[in-house]
Amino acid sequence: MSKIEFKTAKPGQWLGLLGGGQLGRMFCMAAQSMGYRVLVLDPVANGPAGSVADDQVLADYMDDQGLAKLAQRCIGVTTEFENVPALALDTLSKSIPVSPSAFSVGIAQNRIEEKAYISGCGVPVAPHVAIRSKADITDTLSDLMPGIVKTARLGYDGKGQVRVKTLDEVRKAFADLNEVECVLEKRLTLQKEMSVIVARDHKGECATFPVAENHHRKGILATTIVPARIDDAMAAQARSNAIAIAGALDYVGVLCVEFFVVDELGLVVNEIAPRPHNSGHYSIDACVTCQFEQQARVLAGLPLGDTRQHSPAVMVNLLGDLWYSEEGMEREPAWEKVLAIPEVKLHLYGKEQARVGRKMGHITVIAETLDRALTVAQEVRDILG
């Protein structure tokens, strides 16, 4: 873990960022609006973050010279990409503050360790077992059927997951996944999916954002509704669980905790992401301080901002699918029509190529009431098709 102390950065100083996607882009914008400069390390040129950053190091995450450039110029480094090698963060942490630490990122990168860590702090997770070899697939696992086999590493947006009903299907799934380390989880009947974003600074102060209710389509987040339609006790429980997990990890930075609400089990944690999260994008338009500003504040050694939500919000993800007609012809979505609705805020990530399933942007509907926001979100979907 980083022993290097966080110091308060002055406007004009450089903040470093590993990764160049949309989360990095929105981090750049938030940091720049407070007067900081951002240096992005990304192996790809003109990415969503690189194209708005003040400067970019075009290098691989494990490139020693690239990392050294970051360490020389920046007062601290953060990440936007959860599969950034923990080793790169470890190397950087020898000379500058790193948020979050290599340790926290390492835990979140492996579903087996992640689940062990979370249940270790007294927070329930879905019933599961680790599958490291064929021999781990025994008859006792029939209690976990129907289930989901998930690769322990490198899964996102539902990738690296296979739904199974029998132990033979588990064996087949494990073989199809090239026998990499996996977890087999019981498939739960989800009443709701929710998430909490928590920021924790180097002094251990925490601030959680309001609980977000998430709806997925084909394993990808489609819509986030905030505040989540749950009772106050459950919301308080979710927020305090998120703080407990951040505290146990001695986490410094922005962390997302994804929850399931399950009939028999109540609130269980699905997974954590050691960075701002798609389900927190609503905070840009709906909260006093957004998740990206919070990330910049932690890195710059500043006090955490107020996470108060000033308007109900519904966030709708804009996937590349919208750039194609039903016949598969390329088209430009009808922005002028959705922007004619007063409650609509549009965010596009500057990606050149639209692909099916690719996150191209999002819309946040900011309305007087949640009901109105939900109605407008449906209008937006109808317009964009």
Cβ–Cβ < 8 Å for 256, 272: yes
Q: By CB under 6 A, name the one of 63, 90, 113, 157 that touches ligand ADP.
A: 157
User: Six-digit token pair at 209?
Assistant: 């954002």
Longest dimension (CA), the chain: 61
Site size toward ligand ADP, by CB under 6 A? 17
279-105-186 Cα angle (round to 5) = 65
Two tokens, residue 219: 């394993």
Residue ranges in 199-238 that form contacts with ligand ADP under rule CB under 6 A: 216, 219
User: Within 10 A of 132 (CB to CB), how many other CB atoms are there?
Assistant: 15
Min dist. Cβ of residue 364 to ligand ADP (A): 20
Report the residue from 75, 148, 182, 184 that binds ligand ADP according to the rule CB under 6 A: 148
Smallest distance, Å, CB 114 to ligand ADP?
10
Binding track over 266-305 against ligand ADP, x by CB under 6 A: ----xx----------------------------------
Residues between 109 and 128 with contacts to ligand ADP, criterion CB under 6 A: 126
Binding segment for ligand ADP (CB under 6 A), chosen from 52-60, 153-161, 291-299, 358-366, is: 153-161
Looking at the Cβ atoms of 80 and 201, the one nearer to ligand ADP is 80
The answer to the question of residue 357 lying near ligand ADP (CB under 6 A) is no
Distance CA 200, CA 276 (A): 12
Residue 158: CB minimum distance to ligand ADP, A: 5
Q: How many residues does the chain have?
A: 385
**Cβ nearer to ligand ADP, comparing 155 with 247:** 155
The dihedral sign for the CA sequence 226, 30, 341, 216: negative
Alpha helices in the chain (DSSP H): 22-33, 64-73, 86-92, 102-108, 111-120, 167-176, 232-248, 282-286, 291-299, 335-339, 370-384
Closest CA to 364 of 333, 339, 383, 337: 339
**DSSP structural state of residue 54:** S
Instruction: For the CB of residue 274, give the shortest distance to ligand ADP in the complex, in Å.
Output: 13
Q: Is 261 in the site for ligand ADP (CB under 6 A)?
A: no
Q: Which of 42, 82, 114, 193 binds ligand ADP (CB under 6 A)?
A: 193
Measured from the CB atom, is 52 or 245 closer to ligand ADP? Answer: 245
Q: Which DSSP helix (H) or strand (E) runs through 259? A: strand 253-262
CB of 144 to ligand ADP, least distance (A): 9
Closer to ligand ADP by Cβ: residue 140 or 189: 189
Cα dihedral: 30, 159, 106, 279 (round 10)? 30
- Closer by beta carbon to ligand ADP, 217 or else 337: 217
Interface residues toward ligand ADP, by CB under 6 A? 126, 148, 150, 155-158, 185, 187-188, 190, 193, 216, 219, 258, 270-271
